Chains A and B, each alone.
Chain A
Amino acid sequence: MAILPPGVDAGRFAAAIRRFEEIVGPEWVFTSDEDLHPYRDHFSYLKDQPNEPIPSAAVGPDRVEQVQDIVRAANEFRIPLYAISTGKNFAYGGPAPNVRGSVTVDLKRMNRVLEVDDKRHFALVEPGVSYIDLYDYIQERGLKVWIDTPDPGWGSPVGNALDHGIGYTLGFYRDHFGAHCGMEVVLPNGELMRTGMGAMPSAKTWQEYRHGYGPDPAGLFAQGNFGIVTKMGFRLMPQPEHWRNGLITVPKRRDLIPLIETVNYMTDLFMIGEPWYGSPLRQLMGNTEFREAAGRFDEEEMDRQAAAARLHSWQVELQFYGSERTTLANWEYAKELVARAVPQARFTDGESLPVPLTKEQIHETTGPYPTNMRRNVTQGVPGLGIWYMTGRSEMNPNAWDETHVGLFSAVPRSGEGVLEAQQVFARIARDLEIPSFNNALGTPVNWYQFTFLMGAGFGIPRDYTPEGKKRAADILRRILEENAKHGYGDYRAPPILQDDVADQYSFNDHVLRRFHETLKNAIDPNGVVSPGRGGIWPAAYSSFRGALRG
């Protein structure tokens, strides 16, 4: 199926392809359906629909000069580009572009680890390096730094950070864009720019002082389309001497409020790694009486049934990094703090392991309480385990079939905020007549140190006809709208929902988006770099806004 870039005839496209072949070599320009198959979003509700965002071609540069030439050629031929790193980003659009017919700039071949310093604790990498690659590089050399990996770890630190991806160790490092330090960018006119200290040619501190001098434009390149990032520095966590975890439970529903307040205190003292909240009461959801009480948010009845089942209502798992003594002292202090706030709290010592971990310790599965696949990522060890959730398992008895969309909204970081969000999500599900999992037991993720994100876990009807897919997309948009009414903003979205998410950030007649688009038009007058990404549409492609809505 031949797809052309919008507004480009076959002759001009053929000429552009020839130019791309001159730049990177003909073997690295892909145009056949088979070669372009991996550049589609296989989780998309638009799969096989007439408006599915499929690229017209893909081009694989090996070095930054080639990226510059590709961008210059795109300007000459008015070809929209879409840059990817390793192109994973599944559930958030995968490698698919915002504009059907874009040429994908696949940066996988730029896969060099340029530097890892385990005395000053940073790395400088190209976009094609994966977390697994970086982990292997460090392990093979015995360097004393940890990576902070998302799950799965097959994605790119550059690509993940540029989509505001997250990890699971200490708060600073979990925010992957926040932990970056210096980047190199090919601008839409083909010029090469470096941010921070990289702007000073003689500086030896590119990965140590992020701000450089003057306004720092680095944020424009995350969830944006102001250039193609070709190098990125990251701060790395020094390898701790010891890793420890522990589990805390509290008995009553309203105990969530002091629990979160106390854990926030520990988090903001930089005392703990990622807190992981949950509810032991999930095991009662198979019980009709309890499920009905939870559906009514009948807190008194839920507490009564929890007590009868000898279960606590909430739990949080904490991670500690340091020496054996300091991790123990922090765990003891954590217990003391929580016991002060919730005297009936219970505490379970977790694992206590010296670092570096042995292979046996990494694969150990007999800890005092189940941690599922999270355990390894809190230890900076990348894997593919999260895909376990996409198949049938005890975690996911309703197996994933064809589609999967990540929707996580920022909610207030308080117990009251969480309890309110649960009710909001329940109302949305009821109004849309879709199932919502564990409404009254939903807990936040604290991936970002100072932010709670909540994904309520909605079940979308399994109807893979075009009409069914459209209904599913409509449901997702309704969820976004309803969330926004309560001030819950999505942190990340696939191209099919990016315009909808951007629409919700509408303060003062969308001044933020207008600001972005004013900048975009100034530095990318032909609009060739990833038009539409992040809901930012250059004038040349403004008619495409909302085109993926179906």
Chain B
Amino acid sequence: MKSIWAEEYDIVIIGSGFAGLSAAIEAGKVCPSVIVLEKMPVPGGNSSISGGLFAAAGSPLQARERIMDSPELMLSDMLAAGLELNNKELARIVAEKSTETLLWTIKELGVKYKPRLSHLGGHSVARTYNTANTSGSGIIKPMLAKCRDMGIPIRLRTYLSQFILTKGGEMEGVAVRENYIFPNRESGVLKRIRARRAVILATGGFSEDKEFRVIQDPKLTEDIESTNHQGATAEGLIAALKAGATPVQLSLIQLGPWASRDEEGFGVGSMFSMLAGFPYGILIDVRTGRRFINEQADRKLLVDAMLSSGRESIAIVDQKGGQHASTLDQCLKRGVVKKFESIEELAAANNVPLAPLKETIDVYNSLIEKGREDMFGKPLPMDLLPISHPPYYSIRLISKVHHCMGGVQINAEAQVVHIETHQPISRFYAAGEVTGGVHGASRLGSNAIPECITFGRIAGKNAAAQKPRT
């Protein structure tokens, strides 16, 4: 009888972002034949356009700067932001392995990070590394180079159309469309690829899948932009659900409060707000000229406050604060961030009532100078400076869909759990944004990369440890 399988590999990985490539690298150390399938014509997906922020508890930079931190503290931050909807077991793994994973990217991949930590909203302490080029491509590129060295092929334009299970319910392989042209689901040629050891699902989130996300969260209508690349759609997740995976918290979809109104997608403005605008500046309501929230709150709280009663928000920072954002020049060049010599000019250009704005800045500055507590609860570290050094910068903000906390359920071994039996589906693993539960109601900024790489590696190692079927 002629085989239905056109090709056979030890391990078949779907998706070429952080999770997929980490899994490929770990699996490739053990198995001679690993293949990564990617539906887009370019590898790296959303990971390559992310901000390259990596949270690690107990890292070398924290030791150098004498910042007290621990996986326990990181976990409690995750649970607080996640409103305890997190899968604690999985969240703990991310926190505990965060530093080990960070060091792996440095030692094994040669990733370059900036020599300074950032303190992101919702984190108790500064624990965020940032890649030297302020982009996830700073990690994706070394990962792709490693795969090339190891001879692991990344097959582009190859779209997962369905999973194929054995009669006994084991994952056996995938049906794909080769030479697929995104987003035409009828394009390409059908082909079946068998996995001798296992299949790993690493297809990311669905923030750009407007049809699917509005089903999960009706508030996220079509006119709401996302920070994701256009390939961040739900087909991988849906294929897994059809194969018996358990959906978890699919309606928990995060918006990013820091995105710019004056550019598409994630752009360059998001990192300006995250690295300068929020920690070193203030967030005000254009209508009133006043602050309304702790700028360093977690994303969900910020977005909820920004969207309530039709607020229109801008972030303001001065020269001292602005220099913390390495993307400042690009922001100015693209008109995403505007520069003003005085607060008066800034107010006029943004149509902000001047008097209350000035008062707001004065009050904020005096809090810093006198070391008082902020009424919104913003942490005011010792090195924070008052907003008083021209030029002043402003960025117009709008919330954009950013991350899907929900996805398929996995266990601590990154095995996909079956919806009926609650047992792992044999030879089927998943990692990264396509999985659900790690972050609960809200993912803290810079926690996605440690999650993707940690579980990607776990999935890769465990998949490779499977005995090959005959």
Q: Do A and B come from one complex?
A: no
